[in-house]
Structure 1
Amino acid sequence: MIITWQGHSCFKLQDKQGSDGITVVTDPFNKEIGLKVPNFEADIVTISHNHDDHSNVNSLRGKAFIVDCPGEYDFKDVLIEGIDSFHDDKEGAERGKNTIYRFEIDDISVSHLGDLGHALDSTQLEKLAGTDILLIPVGGTYTLDAKKAV
């Protein structure tokens, strides 16, 4: 698997076949972030929450399978589980909901926490058990700070 950080909360995950295989993109951002907007083909796109800096699917090429809510999905042999969470530590009262995504690609489990704003509860921890690679947001204003992330 190839994992490439695109900036902000956006990652490009490619299966072992690389550019000839499946490409998953998390939280594609818009130009207001100040970074080069991702512009490549994607098979699967996940959106942790519907803010403009996490949901710019129009920048990507191809007819992607879009996942933007909790649930279980199986697309092109990629298993995806969306897990309910919040964008703040006040049960969503300030910034709303967030979806954590767990992917099974090439027998590797990758979890992307999106813009998680609180410590994980026991149910979330249980669903993330066995994760091989954890992509954690750390910033402190709109996400966890470094202390809470650990």
Structure 2
Amino acid sequence: MRITYYGHSCFLVDTGSHKLLFDPFITPNELASNIEISSVEADFILLSHGHEDHIADVMKVYENTKATVISTYEVVGYFQKQGVENAQPMNHGGSWQFDFGKVKMVSAIHSSSFPDGSYAGNPAGFVVQTEKDTFYYAGDTALTMDMKLIAEQFKIDFAFMPIGDNFTMDIHDAVKAAEFVNTEKIIGMHYDTFPYIKIDHEQAKNIAANGKKDLTLMQIGESITI
């Protein structure tokens, strides 16, 4: 499984047969200015909630790829009004079998509204099961006891977790969240993009290591294989 980081909370997960793009926020992100949006490929676009720093480039990617948009009922409806034809609306606790595997929508503790301030439903996370790996994309969230339920249902190989603090969990809570979902591998997200969420990378890695967790902080544009 190959993972490419496009900054903030945007990752492309290549399962080998399908490309899953999470929360595309690229063109407005000054830190991702080296990424050409027209080069971003996707078969599916998974959106955790309606905030602009998670949906800004959905239509740009969709127009290039016609990828299927997966999100809450409200977020899918928002993009269907903009011309998206390929979509799968979901809601918390529900799951759906796709060509690449199975997706279960899980809860996230945050807020959610569209750039115009209108209601965007509740924020969410995803547990994605493929033939080789099962991973957790937490979305923007606080630490919550609900995460323990994920470990009861799934064997999580790795997890994308926010670590920037202020708007979401910090690294201390992300380590605890990794304990809750029973995984050793954390891929950090939602950090450094804005002044409010800048972090000390070495300190974060040390905190994770002290908690016996493997924290990966990817460079924008970098790809890794898991």
Whether the TM-score (by the shorter chain) exceeds 0.5 is yes
Where do 5+ consecutive residues of structure 2 fail to align? Answer: 73-90, 112-120, 176-226
- TM-score under structure 1 normalisation? 0.81
**Once superposed, what is the RMSD of the aligned Cα atoms?**
1.9
Aligned counterpart for 1:142 among listed residues 142, 163, 167: 167
The aligned counterpart of 2:60 is 59
- Shift of residue 146, structure 1, vs aligned partner: 1.5
Structure with bigger gyration radius: 2
- Shift of residue 65, structure 1, vs aligned partner: 1.3
Instruction: State the AA in 2 paired with 1:63.
Output: K
- 1:16-75: CA deviations, max 9, x gaps? 3xxxx2000111014222123544221111111101110121131211111112331222
Aligned sequence identity (%)? 26
SS of residue in 2 equivalent to 1:125: helix
- The one of the two structures with greater contact order (alpha-carbon pairs below 8 A, sep at least 6) is 2
Mapping of residues 1-150 of structure 1, within 5 Å:
1-16=1-16, 21-34=17-30, 35-36=32-33, 38-39=37-38, 40-55=40-55, 56-60=57-61, 61-69=64-72, 70=91, 71-87=94-110, 97-116=122-141, 118-122=142-146, 124-128=147-151, 129-150=154-175
Where do 5+ consecutive residues of structure 1 fail to align? Answer: 89-95
Distance 2:100 2:144 in 1: 28
- Tell me which protein shows more helix as a share of its residues: 2
- Tell me which protein shows more strand as a share of its residues: 1
1:82–1:99 contact (8 Å) kept in structure 2? yes
Q: 1:7 to 1:30 in 2, by over 3 A?
A: closer
Instruction: State the AA in 1 paired with 2:58.
Output: V
Aligned length: 137
Q: Structure 1 residue runs of 4+, over 4 Å off?
A: none
